[in-house]
Amino acid sequence: MAKYILKRLLMMLPVLLGVAFVVFTLMYITPGDPAKVILGESATPEAIAAFRQEMGLDNPFLVRFFDYVKGIIFHFDFGTSYQTKKPVLGEILSRFPDTVTLAALSALVAVVVGVTLGVISAVKQYSLFDNLASIIGLLGVAMPNFWMGMMLVLIFAVYLRWLPASGTYGPKYWILPSLTLGFISAASIMRTTRSQMLEVIRQDYIDTARAKGQDEMVIILRHALRNAMIPIITVIGIQFGQMLGGSVLVETVFSIPGVGRYMIDAIKARDYPVVQGTVLFLSACFSFVNLGVDILYTFIDPKMKTMYAKKKS
Amino acid sequence: MKKKSYWMGVWERFIKNRMAVLGIVILTCLILCAVFAPYIAPYGIDDQNSKTRFIAPCAEFLFGTDNFGRDIFSRVVYGARISLQVGLISVAVSCVIGGVLGAIAAFYGTMADNIIMRALDVLMAIPGMVLAVAIAASLGPSLNNMMIAIGLGHAPGFARIVRASVLSIKEQEYVEASRLIGDSDFVIIMKHIIPNSLAPMIVQATLNVGRSVISAASLSFLGLGIQPPTPEWGAMLSASRAYLRDYWWMTAFPGLAILLTVFSLNLVGDGLRDALDPKLKH
């Protein structure tokens, strides 16, 4: 197992290098001279030339790219923000806790709501509950998350005055953002859970368990859900990536000072090292989550463990 | 003859699905709205009037008016043009780029396959919205750039689907037979590979139009897509943020328009999936 994880971690390196290349290229071809943006339109040509020299902006593309990668690998240096002149990594890490809190709470909402509703819908197929849940699910995947966030603010903050609309000053402040980000993923998870459960529930071993008088609750949770879990976990992993992307929007709506919002602010300020750093950072998070999902498979389905064990040799 | 009966079967299964029919009805209405926008909208998209600012929905202004006194209903109607256009064109971009890459990867063996799939792994390692934001930021905010950003962002998904279906078709006996009688790669691709990998492509494309509409609204909301005063739904929502506390209608209606559009597209997509592949239906 440890060997497998190590192998996967090593495989992640070229992918992240590729990501670095993609964002670096994207920022390189962006029109506009960062030196002019930072120093202002009134800067003298000499000042701009000196700045370009200092930041290494005059070097050829590949030289700059390799310098960038070298900095990351050897010094954990993701570059320096044009605006604050501070290291990008530090700035990202100081905002990371807010993004992690948002993503974790949203994932909790998504998994609890999605799996519960999905299981109930499957067990009570074609009931009123099932139909209602299906419609809510269909609407959920059709809604832009930022709009849902604004509507929740309208209802719960402006009219009912139950919850705060923006900021991160305490537990109460996280309720609306995590509902917003979690709900849309819950809809996808619910749809997958329902269809997987329906498939599993028809299997013979479920009938066997019933025949031997097993408690229905145990049958549903232990026999059925566990075997339906693999595709559900795949969807949860995909949804987590969506959440990392969606956090960009939700952080904007609720004024949460997280990594996503930092990226948008940096784009507007043309602070390219920060844009590169945030994209790379969010992608690395996504890759780690995917690895976590793959490891989780082996705990749920022992067959997969032996498969990996065979692969290793 | 046989081919015709296949598509007839698909159509019959499709219209039996009530939700899919509902989707196609809503979608048709939206398309009609977009086409006949000048006849439906009572006002222009940028008719500013300081006397009619912030009027709540009423008979004269169905969806109310915004901070410039513009009729929101008219702007939402015209917005359908932009959203449907962005949805369709960006999906066309993903279809072409993803389809060609996926087909090359599957058809021309290990070397091309390895290079293309590793490149796609890299793009898929970036969360979708983050990738679209990065591309849009790099190209600059405009309608065309937004469609490219969204199309590129969704292309890897298409490439994977096409690759998988081409890989399985390639091994079929009729392809081998076609090769044995001396057909060129081009003929094989046009005659066998494309028609037979069409079904998963159509489903993916329909479902992706909805996703693209949401992505477009999201980019515009972040200020990286279409700029005001163009009546794009996401841009309208972005402008409404400052007035959320006092004038709910500025936020509610453009969002409902997005919801309705994506909802109908998803219903049609789901219906097509079930109709094209009855085996998949649970």
Question: If pLDDT is split at 50, 70 and 90, which confidence band does B18 have?
Answer: confident
* For testing contact with chain B, the best of A125, A135, A139, A150 (most B CBs within 10 A): A150
| Number of neighbours of residue B181 by Cβ within 10 angstroms | 6
Residues 153-172 of chain A with CB under 8 A from chain B are 153-154, 158
Residue B261: closest C-alpha in chain A: A142
Residue at B128 is within a domain:
yes
Helix (H, G, I), strand (E, B) or coil at A155: helix
- Measure the N-to-C terminal CA separation of chain B; round to a whole number of Å: 29
What would the pLDDT profile of B120-160 be if each residue is shown by its tens digit?
889 888 988 899 999 998 888 889 999 999 999 899 888 98
The percent of residues above 70 in pLDDT, for chain B, comes to: 97
The residues that bridge with A87 in the sheet, in sequence order, are A80
Q: Which residues contact B11 (CB under 8 A, 6 or more apart)?
A: B275
Residue at A5 is within a domain:
no
The residues that bridge with B71 in the sheet, in sequence order, are B65
State how far residue A21 is from chain B, nearest Cα, in angstroms: 10
Give yes or no for a contact between A119 and A105, defined as CB atoms under 8 angstroms apart: no
> Comparing C-alpha atoms, which of B107, B239, B86, B232 is closest to residue B165?
B107
Q: Is the pLDDT of residue B60 over 60?
A: yes
Residue B118, amino acid: R
Cα atoms found within 13 Å of the Cα of residue A252, Cβ hemisphere only:
24
Residue at B1 is within a domain:
no
Backbone angles phi, psi at A87, to 5 degrees: -60, 135
Q: Is the pLDDT of residue B1 over 60?
A: no
> What is the rounded average pLDDT of the residues B38-53?
84
**Nearest beta carbon to residue B129 from set A23, A154, A246:** A246
Inter-chain Cβ pairs, chain A and chain B, closer than 8 A = 138
Q: Helix-strand-coil percent breakdown of chain B, rounded to 5?
A: 75, 0, 20
* For testing contact with chain B, the best of A135, A253, A267 (most B CBs within 10 A): A267
Inter-chain CB proximity B127 and A264 less than 8 Å? no
Q: What is the CATH number of the domain that holds A254?
A: 1.10.3720.10
| A chain contacts of residue B259, beta-carbon cutoff 8 Å | 139, 142-144, 147
Q: What is the CATH number of the domain that holds B175?
A: 1.10.3720.10
Q: How many domains does the structure of chain B reveal?
A: 1
pTM comes to 0.88
**Nearest beta carbon to residue B122 from set A22, A143, A268:** A22
Q: Which residues contact A66 (CB under 8 A, 6 or more apart)?
A: none
Query: Residue A148: what pLDDT?
Result: 93
Domain that holds residue B103: 19-280
DSSP state of A214: -
Residue at A308 is within a domain:
yes
**Nearest beta carbon to residue A147 from set B131, B223, B237:** B237
Comparing B221 with A230, the larger pLDDT belongs to B221
Domain that holds residue A259: 97-312
Residue A10, amino acid: L
Residue at B64 is within a domain:
yes
Q: Is the pLDDT of residue B252 over 60?
A: yes
Query: Residue A84: what pLDDT?
Result: 83
Q: How far apart, in whole angstroms, are the C-alpha atoms of residue A229 and residue B170?
A: 33
Q: How many domains does the structure of chain A reveal?
A: 1
Query: Residue A272: what pLDDT?
Result: 87
Inter-chain CB proximity A146 and B218 less than 8 Å? yes
Residue at B8 is within a domain:
no
Residue at B213 is within a domain:
yes
Residue at A55 is within a domain:
no
Q: Is the pLDDT of residue B32 over 90?
A: yes
Residue at B78 is within a domain:
yes
Backbone angles phi, psi at A132, to 5 degrees: -60, -45
**Nearest beta carbon to residue B133 from set A14, A30, A248:** A248
What would the pLDDT profile of A99-137 be if each residue is shown by its tens digit?
999 999 999 999 999 999 999 998 888 889 989 998 888
pLDDT < 70 regions, chain A: 304-313
The residues that bridge with B65 in the sheet, in sequence order, are B71
Q: How far apart, in whole angstroms, are the C-alpha atoms of residue A218 and residue A198?
A: 16
DSSP B128-144: HHHHHHHHHHHH-SSHH
> Comparing C-alpha atoms, which of B39, B45, B59, B95 is closest to residue B207?
B95
Question: If pLDDT is split at 50, 70 and 90, which confidence band does B282 have?
Answer: very low
Q: What is the ipTM, given to two decimal places?
A: 0.87
Q: How far apart, in whole angstroms, are the C-alpha atoms of residue A17 and residue A11?
A: 11
Residue A30: closest C-alpha in chain B: B138
Give yes or no for a contact between B180 and B189, defined as CB atoms under 8 angstroms apart: no
Question: If pLDDT is split at 50, 70 and 90, which confidence band does B3 have?
Answer: low
